[in-house]
Amino acid sequence: MTLTKKATISDVAKLAKVGKTSVSRYLNGEFKVLSEDIQRRIKLAIETLDYKPSRLASGMKKGRTKLIALVFADLSISYAMEIMRGVETACRENDYTLLVFNANNESEQEKKILQLLTSYQVEGVIIQALRTHDHNFYDFNLPMVSIDRAIHGCETDLVHLDNIQATKLAVTHLIENAFEQVLFITEKIEDIQARQQRSETFYQLMQSYPQCKGEIIEVLDISQPQQIDPILQAFYQSGQGKKQAILAVNGVATLNTALALKRLNIEWGRDIGLIGFDDPNWAAVLGDGITTIRQPTLDIGYCAFELLLKRIQGDRSKFKTVLYPGELIVRKSTIL
Partner DNA sequence: CTGTTAGCGCCTTCAG
Partner DNA sequence: CTGAAGGCGCTAACAG
Which residue of 3, 4, 29, 33 would you call a contact of DNA, by CB under 7 A? 33
Distance CA 121, CA 328 (A): 41
Which residue of 150, 284, 322, 329 would you call a contact of a copy of itself, by CB under 8 A? 284
Contact between 138 and a copy of itself per CB under 8 A: yes
Contact between 19 and DNA per CB under 7 A: yes
Contact between 67 and DNA per CB under 7 A: no
Q: What b/e string do you get for 11-21 counting C-beta neighbours within 10 Å, with b at 16 or more?
A: bbbbbbebeee
Contact between 44 and DNA per CB under 7 A: no
88 binds, among DNA, a copy of itself, none (CB under 5 to 8 A by kind): a copy of itself
Contact between 9 and DNA per CB under 7 A: yes
Q: Centre a 10 Å sphere on the Cβ of residue 57 and count the other Cβ atoms it contains.
A: 11
> Which of 261, 262, 271 is CA-nearest to residue 241?
271
Minimum CB distance to a copy of itself, residue 214 (Å): 26
Which residue of 18, 83, 84, 161 would you call a contact of a copy of itself, by CB under 8 A? 84
116 binds, among a copy of itself, DNA, none (CB under 5 to 8 A by kind): a copy of itself
- Burial (CB count within 10 angstroms: exposed 0-12, middle 13-18, buried 19+), residue 303: buried
Contact between 21 and DNA per CB under 7 A: yes
The single-letter DSSP state of residue 135 is S
Contact between 37 and DNA per CB under 7 A: yes
Contact between 55 and a copy of itself per CB under 8 A: yes
115 binds, among DNA, a copy of itself, none (CB under 5 to 8 A by kind): a copy of itself
Q: Centre a 10 Å sphere on the Cβ of residue 155 and count the other Cβ atoms it contains.
A: 13
> Which of 305, 180, 151 is CA-nearest to residue 245?
180
Distance CA 157, CA 154 (A): 10
What is the secondary structure of 266-334 as a DSSP string?
--BTTTBEEEEES--GGGGTSTT--EEEE--HHHHHHHHHHHHHHHHTT--S---EEEEPPEEE--GGG
For a copy of itself, the closer CB: 38 or 49:
49
Q: Is 159 helix (H, G, I), strand (E, B) or coil?
A: strand
Size of the site for a copy of itself (CB under 8 A): 52
Binding site for a copy of itself (CB under 8 A): 1-3, 6, 50, 52-57, 59-60, 65, 67, 75-76, 78, 81, 84-85, 88-89, 92, 97-102, 104, 109, 115-116, 118-121, 138-139, 141, 255, 258-259, 262, 280-282, 284-286, 288
